[in-house]
């Protein structure tokens, strides 16, 4: 039965760089698997057989496998670039949607203010104030009172609005 050893152990045992063994595992010329979260183990027997072939020099088959590996890696990079571009487009869509939502929210708040002012004006029309020459002054005072009541209920919303108006 063949023995499975980590890449570090194999590098020490055969006096090689870990990067070479990892490359061979990635190329699938040496049998390997991920044992734990971050430990790759290789088949010792398979590695020994590959090293015997490698002692004779780089064969055409090895060069073709290396070339195929490089092509696969570049295809993977292209795929990642495509996915990153798609993610950037999605993020931009979310930003545009947020901008539209904020604009609609501002319009809604302005409309609420206009509705409140209209309600005050209608309340004044139903009293005797609509004939009075101080009507504008009364309406201004009532609007201020109405806004101060709203400020007491919703201080955060009006606080942000006051900063914009200053």
Q: What is the pLDDT of residues 77-97, one digit of tens each?
A: 999 999 999 999 999 999 999
Give me the sign of the Cα torsion angle 114, 115, 117, 122: positive
- Asked whether residue 31 carries a pLDDT value surpassing 50, the answer given is yes
pLDDT, tens digit (0-9, with 9 covering 90-100), for 135-146 = 677 777 777 777
Question: What is the Cα–Cα distance from 92 to 100, expressed in whole angstroms?
Answer: 12
Tokens of 8: 């570090």
- Asked whether residue 163 carries a pLDDT value surpassing 70, the answer given is no
Question: What is the Cα–Cα distance from 42 to 47, expressed in whole angstroms?
Answer: 7
Question: What is the Cα–Cα distance from 126 to 113, expressed in whole angstroms?
Answer: 20
- Asked whether residue 106 carries a pLDDT value surpassing 90, the answer given is yes
Name 32's Cβ contacts closer than 8 Å, sequence gap at least 6: 7, 25, 40, 41, 42, 43
pLDDT, tens digit (0-9, with 9 covering 90-100), for 144-162 = 777 776 555 554 444 444 4
pLDDT top residue among 69 and 85:
85
Report, as an integer, the average pLDDT of 109-135: 76
């Amino acid at each position: 039965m063949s023995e499975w050893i980590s890449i570090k152990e194999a590098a020490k045992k055969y006096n090689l760089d870990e990067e070479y063994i990892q490359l061979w595992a990635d190329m699938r010329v040496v049998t390997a698997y991920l044992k734990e979260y971050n430990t790759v183990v290789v088949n010792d027997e398979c590695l020994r057989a590959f090293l015997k072939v490698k002692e004779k020099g780089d064969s055409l088959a090895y060069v073709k496998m290396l070339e195929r590996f490089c092509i696969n890696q570049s295809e993977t990079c292209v795929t990642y670039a495509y996915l990153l571009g798609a993610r950037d487009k999605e993020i931009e869509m979310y930003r545009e949607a947020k901008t539209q939502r904020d604009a609609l929210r501002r319009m809604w708040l302005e409309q609420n203010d206009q509705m409140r002012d209209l309600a005050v004006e209608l309340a004044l029309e139903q009293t005797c104030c609509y004939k009075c020459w101080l009507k504008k002054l009364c309406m201004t005072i009532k609007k201020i009172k109405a806004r101060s009541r709203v400020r007491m209920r919703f201080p955060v919303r009006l606080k942000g609005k006051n900063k914009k108006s200053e």
